[in-house]
Amino acid sequence: MKAIVNVFLKNGVLDSQGKAVLHALSSHGFESVKDVRVGKQIIIELSETDENVAKEKVAHMCEELLANTVIEDYEIEIQA
């Protein structure tokens, strides 16, 4: 079983990297770009067979290590 974890800065926490990328894209002629957010994706292979158990364990991993919940939100997608 595979877990895809996406970690992004919370709304309201300034994403300086996103702003820099937005600026770079705009100045390269990509005028339709309205906003950019930079985050990270963590892909985890698990030996779990139960999707709910896997999701629960990965959520625990996010709280413990993968995300800093003071400034970041996370989303978990489980793939069979």
Partner 1 sequence: MKANVKVGIVQFPGTNCEYDTQHAFAALGCETQILWHKEDQISTDTNLVVVAGGFSYGDYLRSGAIAKMSPIMKALKTYANNGGKVLGICNGFQVLTETGLLPGALKRNEGLHFISRHHNLKVISNNNSFLQHCNVAQVLNIPIAHHDGNFYIDPDGLKELYANDQVLLKYTDSEGNIDNPNGSIDSIAGICNKEKNVFGLMPHPERAMESLLGSDDGRRMLEGFLNA
- The reply to whether 13 sits near partner 1 by the rule CB under 8 A is yes
By the rule CB under 8 A, 41 interacts with partner 1? no
Spell out where 1-80 has E strands: 2-9, 40-45, 72-79
List Cα–Cα distances, 48 to 64, 74, 76, in angstroms: 19, 20, 15
Q: What is the largest CA-CA distance in the chain?
A: 48
- The answer to whether residue 79 forms part of the interface with partner 1 (CB under 8 A) is no
16, 24, 50, 51: which one binds partner 1 (CB under 8 A): 16
11 makes contact with partner 1 (CB under 8 A): no
Residues that bind partner 1 (CB under 8 A): 9, 13-14, 16-17, 20, 64-66, 68, 70-71
